[in-house]
């Protein structure tokens, strides 16, 4: 059966169309005849990432960037990147990261999947964890930042040193340095004079120093010669202390205790009203009577002293003298 010419032309147009679509997608990095899965990543900044840039794992290309979409009305994460993974059986752990990094020295970009260790995996259509690699300028700035701080501190130290030198070597500073050197010179001269004085003193008192040394030697010799006597004195002291230690302190204590018991008995008897001293001490009436008697006796003695004629009669040869009126 012969095919009509129109059918052949239509078949050729369909084949050309399919070939053109496949060729355009191939040039874009798409393979329409392979089974692929898609994942998404949200970045704040893609730093030059383009559609059709490769997606790699351990340096091996597993897909490409299929699309980049701008997301408005978001506080962060304005760019949605769609990743096409050619191998549908490829699994990505949930702690993995999709890092944008440089693929060559010319600044081309790629998405590297940094594989994690989780036992859970992302499903096709999930959003991966985003991560950005530092650019060369950022790395250089990070390396130069500590050096910059050190240089700034060094410049500050140099400024301080220059200011210090300027303050030291002005007129006032030079004057202070001159005065200081003069003071050091004077101190050295004084030390020299003191040394000379000590030397002269030692020379002049050399005889006395020798005498003192001789006396010290004599004292040490006496101590050495009387070493036995000193040892005897020490032994005597030890014997005295031993005698005191070995005294019959128990017998002395018992005698002292017996004396205290007798003294206590005497005090009890004094406090008792049965004895004479006890009655005298404890009876106020007896005390008042005795005091009254003593007062009366004192008055009588005073009266006899004042008028002895009235109380004392003197007789001569057996006759009594008459009392004179004067005596009365």
pLDDT digits (tens, 9 = 90+) for 182-192: 888 889 988 99
Nearby residues of 277 by Cβ (< 8 Å), 6 or more positions away:
269, 270
Nearby residues of 38 by Cβ (< 8 Å), 6 or more positions away:
66, 82, 83, 84, 85, 124, 125
d(CA 22, CA 244): 129
Most confident of 29-33, 34-38, 67-71, 261-265: 67-71
101 and 18, same domain (yes or no) = no
By DSSP bridging, strand 79-85 and strand 60-70 are antiparallel
46 and 22, same domain (yes or no) = no
Q: Does 146 reside within a domain?
A: no
* Res 326 pLDDT > 50: no
26 and 38, same domain (yes or no) = no
* Res 255 pLDDT > 60: yes
Looking at residue 328, what is its pLDDT?
A: 40
39 and 28, same domain (yes or no) = no
76 and 61, same domain (yes or no) = yes
Q: Does 61 reside within a domain?
A: yes
28 and 110, same domain (yes or no) = no
Of the residues 73, 107, 133, the one at which a domain ends: 133
Nearby residues of 309 by Cβ (< 8 Å), 6 or more positions away:
323, 324, 327, 328
10 and 66, same domain (yes or no) = no
d(CA 11, CA 29): 27
Looking at residue 279, what is its pLDDT?
A: 65
Looking at residue 126, what is its pLDDT?
A: 92
122 and 83, same domain (yes or no) = yes
Confidence of residue 83 (pLDDT cuts 50, 70, 90): very high
- Contact by Cβ (8 Å): 62, 86: yes
Q: Does 84 reside within a domain?
A: yes
* Res 174 pLDDT > 80: no
14 and 79, same domain (yes or no) = no
Q: Does 159 reside within a domain?
A: no
Tokens encoding 152: 């700034």
- Contact by Cβ (8 Å): 309, 326: no
Mean pLDDT computed over 185-214: 86
Of the residues 98, 133, 168, the one at which a domain ends: 133
Number of domains composing the chain:
3
54 and 116, same domain (yes or no) = yes
Domain span including residue 291: 268-306
Most confident of 78-82, 142-146, 244-248: 78-82
Looking at residue 325, what is its pLDDT?
A: 45
Q: Does 49 reside within a domain?
A: yes
Looking at residue 204, what is its pLDDT?
A: 82
d(CA 131, CA 133): 7
* Res 40 pLDDT > 90: yes
d(CA 39, CA 64): 11
Mean pLDDT computed over 211-217: 84
Confidence of residue 210 (pLDDT cuts 50, 70, 90): confident
Cα 95 to Cα 88, 120, 207: the distances in Å are 19, 8, 99
- Determine the length of the chain: 328
Higher pLDDT, residue 213 or 81: 81
- Partnered with residue 60 across adjacent β-strands are 57
Of the residues 100, 133, 166, the one at which a domain ends: 133
46 and 95, same domain (yes or no) = yes
85 and 16, same domain (yes or no) = no
């Amino acid at each position: 059966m012969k095919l009509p010419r129109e059918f052949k032309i239509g078949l050729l147009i369909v084949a050309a169309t399919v070939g053109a679509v496949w060729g355009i997608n191939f040039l874009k990095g798409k393979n329409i005849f392979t089974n692929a899965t898609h994942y998404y990543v949200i970045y704040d900044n893609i730093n030059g990432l383009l559609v059709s840039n490769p997606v790699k794992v351990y340096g091996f290309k597993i897909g490409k960037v299929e699309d980049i979409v701008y997301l408005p009305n978001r506080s962060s994460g304005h760019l949605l990147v769609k990743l096409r993974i050619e191998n549908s059986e490829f699994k990505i752990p949930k702690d993995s990261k999709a890092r944008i990094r440089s693929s060559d020295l010319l600044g081309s970009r790629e998405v590297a999947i940094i594989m994690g260790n989780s036992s859970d995996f992302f499903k096709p259509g999930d959003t991966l964890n985003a991560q950005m690699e530092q650019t060369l300028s950022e790395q250089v700035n990070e390396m130069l930042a500590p050096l910059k701080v050190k240089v700034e501190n060094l410049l500050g130290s140099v400024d301080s040193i220059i200011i210090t030198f300027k303050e030291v070597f002005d007129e006032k500073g030079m004057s202070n340095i001159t005065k200081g050197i003069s003071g050091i010179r004077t101190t050295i001269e004084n030390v020299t004079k003191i040394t000379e004085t000590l030397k002269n003193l030692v020379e002049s008192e050399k005889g006395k120093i020798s005498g003192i040394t001789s006396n010290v030697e004599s004292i040490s010799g006496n101590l050495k010669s009387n070493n036995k006597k000193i040892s005897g004195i020490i032994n005597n002291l030890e014997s005295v202390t031993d005698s005191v230690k070995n005294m019959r302190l128990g017998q002395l204590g018992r005698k002292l205790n017996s004396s205290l018991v007798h003294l206590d008995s005497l005090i009890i008897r004094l406090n008792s009203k049965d004895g004479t001293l006890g009655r005298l001490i404890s009876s106020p009436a007896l005390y008042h009577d005795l005091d009254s008697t003593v007062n009366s006796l004192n008055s009588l003695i005073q009266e006899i002293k004042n008028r002895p004629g009235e109380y004392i009669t003197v007789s001569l040869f057996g006759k009594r003298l008459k009392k004179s009126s004067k005596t009365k």
